[in-house]
Amino acid sequence: MKVKFTFILKSGKMYDCIADLTENQFSSIINTVKTSFREGLNAYITLDYCIVRLSECAVIDWEVLDEQETEKS
């Protein structure tokens, strides 16, 4: 699936990153973000061409641009 992430940093800067992810990768990233924000961890995530330090983010938003179609038997 293709997912667009929007990162708003605590400094006020904003940038987007589009990544091709499997459902497992997407789920893992979302769980990491939630845990990092909830527990104040100094974690980071990597998405295709960018590395994001979650402790520098004020807001993270995402939008699924297209979902992978499953084959029908």
Q: What is the pTM of this model?
A: 0.81
Percent above pLDDT 90 for the chain: 77
String of DSSP letters for 16-64? EEEEE--HHHHHHHHHHHHHHHHHT---EEEETTEEEEGGGEEEEEEEE
19-49, pLDDT tens digit by residue? 999 999 999 999 999 999 999 888 999 988 8
